[in-house]
Chain A
Amino acid sequence: MAERRNGMEMVAEKAIELLIRICGISAIVFVFGIFFFVFREGAPALAKIDLGEFLTGGKWIPTSHQPRYGVGALIVGTLSVTAVAMAIAVPFGLGAAVFVSEFCGRRTRETLKIVIELLAAIPSVVWGFIGLSVMSPLLIHGFHVPVGVNLFNGAILLALMSVPIMVSIGEDALKAVPDSYREAALALGATRWQTVWRVLVPAARNGLLAAVLLGVGRAIGETMAVLMATGHSIRIPETLFDPVCTLTATIAAELGETSKGSTHYQVLFLIGVLLFSITFVVNLAADLVVKGIRKR
């Protein structure tokens, strides 16, 4: 009797373990699934368009009688918004990480972390809305620029959106530096300023780099905020206040209109493949950098 129940339990346990294994493997299925389905829809376009023109062409006129599918300007748009966003977010984000990790008491730290966690959770559509209705008039009046929805507007939003992730990863990286480093620096008479610049930042270099890379990944992939706040103008920006258009915003704005299987539809999926590849590389880099720390 007892043996039979044992047998039943064994079977149940085996079933559960099988289920667990399947779930574990599902992650890998999904990654390949995403690539597969996005690529499957986009691949036929490769036969219809010239890949060189697709990547470098400045003309994006998908609905014309003589359509042109050049995403060069969109790539530049995405990169410029991301670059400006990072120029703002990296110093402030890492500075904030240093503050949270090195300069404040436990209570302040807990409070700050809760606030930062909260800010990380604010939906991107809310940021986009803020860009349109709050930032845009501020920029017009503050900087006397003709258009309020522009590169700078989008970049500020992306900076604010990627700071939380930088602070939390950056703080982890600084925490991982052994206390003996700090003690040694202090014993040598270094000020905390010197400790931060000469000891902690070099020691936590990889982790901080990973924090930056994850911020970059987030900024490149962000959709709604840039769709609403960058002005959606297909051009190579010349000033900080030119409107631009990004890869993500183009997909969001145009996918719905295309009929399945049309070249326009396929090209939008191809942009998806491009985005997937870019963020894949960025995240992979961040992951390898983090792994590098663990090994040391």
Chain B
Amino acid sequence: MGVASSIRFAAALAAVAVLVAGCGGGGGTASGPGARTTIANIGSDTMLNLAAAWAEAYDRVDPSVSVEVSGGGSGQGAAALINGSCDVANCSRKLEEREAGEIRSRRSREPKEHIVGYDALSIFVHRSNPLEEISVEDLGEMYRDGGTITRWSQIGVTIPGAKGDAIILVNRQNSSGTYHYFKEAVVGKKNEFRLSALHMNGSKDAVELIANTPNSIGYSGMGYATPEVRQVRVSRKRGERGIAPCAVSALDGSYPIARPMFMYTAGEPEGALRAYLEWILSPKGQEIVESTGYVPRPAR
């Protein structure tokens, strides 16, 4: 009896396993989600919150379309677009010529750029740090490999209650578009980053580390500001007046490290993807840009 029933048990288990696998294969097409159009959206971490918010709201606009959002960095979005593993890529930097060329040669389509909003790249320090403003030049000396600024006292800052004086640089991982933008705008194209910085994997990760680390400084999209860190005003050159990151200063170009946020498609978008991108650029979609802390496109 025991033997027979345990065999039956095993057989049932196997049957369930086969069923799970089988249903998995065929089931989807029969009912709901199989009939849904999927849009794969990969890319920038800076835009991840925003992209997820769009996807979420769009679920109510058109329930027949399901948007899959992955982060990983702008480089990942560009790579996915080249490999054909996504439909639309989020980039917090411009597509590189090399990447555009690869899309042309591998997908035989022209990459199409869509500006979906703006971001003022914010410089964050710990809330106990008295630093009020900093110049792009000084930032460059901090972040550049071989740069001259490694201690807070060098720019006249003493952080109350901090251990030591060394600047803890918080950087982003090299797939981040913000990393590449920062390198170009602050460190300089010809220079390299200081490798000993902490390379954090997400915008929030970076901001949270700064919140926990009195000696640190770092950068992230303005949408990631929290009460636990302070945003610093930024000037172009030493001695110039620092500008606070905000919608106005991002759009009129007075804030030195503001940038557009892009979405790229391989070729002219069609069908559901086209409708999705049009919706993103519509007032409804742009409202979400504002509510996630970024700067919407100026109304025409």
Known contacts A63-B75, A144-B163; is-contact A232 B174 (Cβ 8 Å): no
B164 lies within 8 A of A61 (CB): no
The listed residue (B79, B82, B163, B199) touching A233 by CB distance below 8 A is B199
A257 lies within 8 A of B196 (CB): no
Question: Which of A221-240 touch B at CB < 8 Å?
Answer: 227-228, 231-235
Q: How far is the CA of A260 from the CA of B201 in the complex (A)?
A: 21
The listed residue (B79, B196, B215) touching A256 by CB distance below 8 A is B79
Q: Is there a chain A Cβ closer than 8 Å to B212's Cβ?
A: yes
What is the CB-to-nearest-CB distance from A9 to chain B, in angstroms, rounded to a whole number? 16
A149 lies within 8 A of B215 (CB): no
B212 lies within 8 A of A148 (CB): yes
B212 lies within 8 A of A137 (CB): yes
What is the CB-to-nearest-CB distance from A165 to chain B, in angstroms, rounded to a whole number? 27
B173: nearest chain-A partner, CB-CB:
A253
Known contacts A147-B198, A256-B72; is-contact A65 B213 (Cβ 8 Å): no
The listed residue (A59, A132, A136, A253) touching B195 by CB distance below 8 A is A59
Q: Is there a chain A Cβ closer than 8 Å to B186's Cβ?
A: no
Tier of interface size on chain A: 35 or more
A63 lies within 8 A of B83 (CB): no
User: Interface digits, A247-264 against B, CB 8 Å rule (1 contact, 0 not)?
Assistant: 000000110111110100
Tier of interface size on chain B: 35 or more
Q: Is there a chain B Cβ closer than 8 Å to A60's Cβ?
A: yes
Q: Is there a chain B Cβ closer than 8 Å to A245's Cβ?
A: yes
Q: How far is the CA of A227 from the CA of B216 in the complex (A)?
A: 19
Which chain B residues border A146 with CB–CB below 8 Å? 162-164, 166, 168, 213-216
Q: How far is the CA of A132 from the CA of B173 in the complex (A)?
A: 17
Known contacts A137-B212, A147-B213, A257-B72; is-contact A227 B197 (Cβ 8 Å): no
The listed residue (B102, B162, B198, B214) touching A232 by CB distance below 8 A is B198
A245 lies within 8 A of B75 (CB): no
Which chain B residues border A228 with CB–CB below 8 Å? 201
A145 lies within 8 A of B195 (CB): no
B195 lies within 8 A of A231 (CB): no
Known contacts A140-B213, A146-B215, A253-B173; is-contact A260 B83 (Cβ 8 Å): yes
B213 lies within 8 A of A253 (CB): no
Known contacts A144-B163, A259-B102; is-contact A235 B195 (Cβ 8 Å): yes
What is the CB-to-nearest-CB distance from A216 to chain B, in angstroms, rounded to a whole number? 26
Q: How far is the CA of A144 from the CA of B162 in the complex (A)?
A: 9
Q: Is there a chain A Cβ closer than 8 Å to B180's Cβ?
A: yes
Q: Is there a chain B Cβ closer than 8 Å to A215's Cβ?
A: no
B168 lies within 8 A of A232 (CB): no
A148 lies within 8 A of B213 (CB): yes
What is the CB-to-nearest-CB distance from A229 to chain B, in angstroms, rounded to a whole number? 11
B83 lies within 8 A of A257 (CB): no
Q: How far is the CA of A63 from the CA of B99 in the complex (A)?
A: 12
User: Interface digits, B246-259 against A, CB 8 Å rule (1 contact, 0 not)?
Assistant: 00000000000000
The listed residue (B164, B198, B208) touching A243 by CB distance below 8 A is B198
Which chain B residues border A260 with CB–CB below 8 Å? 79, 82-83
Which chain B residues border A59 with CB–CB below 8 Å? 195
B196 lies within 8 A of A232 (CB): no
Q: Is there a chain A Cβ closer than 8 Å to B245's Cβ?
A: no
- Which one of A59, A137, A256 has the greatest number of beta carbons of chain B within 10 Å? A256
Q: How far is the CA of A145 from the CA of B166 in the complex (A)?
A: 11
Q: Is there a chain B Cβ closer than 8 Å to A180's Cβ?
A: no
Q: Is there a chain A Cβ closer than 8 Å to B274's Cβ?
A: no
Q: Is there a chain A Cβ closer than 8 Å to B122's Cβ?
A: no
B168 lies within 8 A of A147 (CB): yes
Q: How far is the CA of A29 from the CA of B84 in the complex (A)?
A: 29
A257 lies within 8 A of B175 (CB): yes
A63 lies within 8 A of B174 (CB): yes
A64: nearest chain-B partner, CB-CB:
B192
- Which one of A63, A231, A235 has the greatest number of beta carbons of chain B within 10 Å? A63
Known contacts A61-B192, A146-B168; is-contact A253 B198 (Cβ 8 Å): no
Question: Which of B91-116 touch A at CB < 8 Å?
Answer: 99, 102
Question: Which of A88-138 touch B at CB < 8 Å?
Answer: 132, 136-137
Closest 10 CB pairs between A and B?
Answer: A257-B175, A257-B75, A259-B79, A256-B72, A257-B76, A256-B76, A232-B199, A235-B196, A234-B195, A63-B174
Show the binding face of A for B, using Cβ within 8 Å: 58-65, 73, 132, 136-137, 140, 144-149, 227-228, 231-235, 243, 245, 253-254, 256-260, 262
Q: List 8 A-B contacts (CB under 8 A).
A: A63-B75, A140-B212, A147-B198, A232-B199, A232-B201, A233-B197, A254-B173, A256-B175
